[in-house]
Amino acid sequence: MKRVLITGAAGFLGSHLCDKFIDNGYQVVGMDNLITGNLENIEHLFPNKNFEFYHHDVSKFVHVSGQIDYILHFASPASPIDYLKIPIQTLKVGSLGTHNLLGFAKAKNARILVASTSEIYGDPDVHPQKEEYWGNVNSVGPRGVYDEAKRFQEAITMAYHTYHGLETRMVRIFNTYGPRMRLDDGRALPAFMSQALEGKDLTVFGDGSQTRSFCYVDDLIEGIYRLLLSDYALPVNIGNPSEITIKDFAEEIIKLTGTENKVIYKPLPKDDPKQRCPDITKAKEILGWEPKVDRAEGLKRTYEFFKQKLNK
Ligand code: UDP
């Protein structure tokens, strides 16, 4: 049986990865410092004999005894309001945390996959974004703490690959949504859905003409799983190329929820990317992967989750 370490295990993506690996017959060691993660997301896994959990901050020395075959590093604040609230921790988990996990991977002779992001492209002036595009990031802007930590993460991961021959994988994750997102994480989808459910107007930032491309979580997790098991060490975009303006996205959620509330406009946060859409040619060619769940279906499933969560 293969044994896999998943950092950020109690978070949105980390918890779905734990489920995926348990379902596929792996032993899973989850690790999380629970700053933005929530044990509720993995509560159902604790009775499973193939699941263990460590409450630990990976910015500090990481050790787990016994065999580890794969490591997936998904620990990090990931929503703009989180990383603005805890900028130093965000920088540390992407830099020191990644360094610790790379060292740990080397000691265990394990393969490591790190969670990178479309944010490494910054406010892109190439559209859609291909992996070869180097990006347009303001290092000293408010988003720099996340973007530059993730850029450093890619650089040090590549260095361990090149200089130590470590088996490494890098996924560049575009906007993802689905059950287990935090209602209060400030991102567009949880914000709009919780506003609709709580009888508030939906707050669109700027004029709402900025675009994003939203991928349903199950599709993303399948892409990550395939990338881990592939032999491709350079970064791969995983996301859904179906692009939409934020204003239209808010309107879709108004229609879905049947709310009487309207869109209201608030100031655009500094350095908010104007457009974002993944070029997924590489994922198609190398992993035979493309998204399967369209936005109408994904939003419906997510809305059911948020409704239940709020009723609780
Ligand atoms: N956004 C918005 N209203 C909100 C939250 C976000 O209009 O209440 C906008 C935000 O300015 C951005 C887009 O929605 O243009 C996506 O924001 P999110 O925080 O979800 O992700 P990111 O900016 O990291 O892609």
Phi, psi of 265 (to 5 degrees): -105, 135
Find out whether the beta carbon of 191 lies less than 6 Å from any atom of ligand 1.
Answer: yes
Residues of the chain above pLDDT 70, percent: 100
pLDDT at 312: 80
pLDDT at 266: 98
* Spacing, Cα 192 to ligand 1 middle (Å): 10
Find out whether the beta carbon of 142 lies less than 6 Å from any atom of ligand 1.
Answer: no
What value does the mean pLDDT take over residues 136-152? 97
What value does the mean pLDDT take over residues 110-123? 98
Residue 243: burial class (beta carbons within 10 Å; 0-12, 13-18, 19+): middle
Architecture of the domain made up of 3-177+217-239+277-292: 3-Layer(aba) Sandwich (3.40)
Q: Whose CA is nearest to atom 13 of ligand 1?
A: 188
Of the candidates 145, 277, 288, the one whose C-alpha atom is nearest the C-alpha of residue 215 is 277
Find out whether the beta carbon of 246 lies less than 6 Å from any atom of ligand 1.
Answer: yes
* Spacing, Cα 101 to ligand 1 middle (Å): 30
Kindly compute the dihedral angle of the four CA atoms of residues 149, 178, 36, 91, in this order, to the nearest 10 degrees: 0
Atom of ligand 1 at shortest range from CA of 204: 7
Tell me how far apart the alpha carbons of residues 163 and 27 are, in angstroms, rounded to a whole number. 30
* Spacing, Cα 187 to ligand 1 middle (Å): 5
Confidence bin at 191 (pLDDT 50/70/90): very high
Find out whether the beta carbon of 175 lies less than 6 Å from any atom of ligand 1.
Answer: yes
pLDDT in tens, 4-51: 999 999 999 999 999 999 999 999 999 999 999 999 999 999 999 999
Q: Which residue has the tokens 């930032």?
A: 205
CA separation (Å) from 1 to 24, 25, 26, 62, 104?
A: 10, 7, 6, 22, 20
N-terminal to C-terminal alpha carbon distance within the chain: 37
Tell me how far apart the alpha carbons of residues 276 and 7 are, in angstroms, rounded to a whole number. 27
pLDDT in tens, 247-276: 999 999 999 999 999 999 999 999 999 999
Atom of ligand 1 at shortest range from CA of 186: 5
DSSP-based three-state secondary structure for 244: strand
Average pLDDT, the chain: 97
Phi, psi of 266 (to 5 degrees): -125, 160
Confidence bin at 311 (pLDDT 50/70/90): confident
Q: Whose CA is nearest to atom 21 of ligand 1?
A: 187
pTM of the model: 0.98
* Spacing, Cα 18 to ligand 1 middle (Å): 27
Active site residues: 146
- H-run or E-run covering 236: strand 236-238
pLDDT at 289: 98
Q: Which two tokens stand for residue 190?
A: 């949880």
pLDDT in tens, 199-256: 999 999 999 999 999 999 999 999 999 999 999 999 999 999 999 999 999 999 999 9
DSSP lists the bridge partners of residue 144 as none
Find out whether the beta carbon of 272 lies less than 6 Å from any atom of ligand 1.
Answer: yes
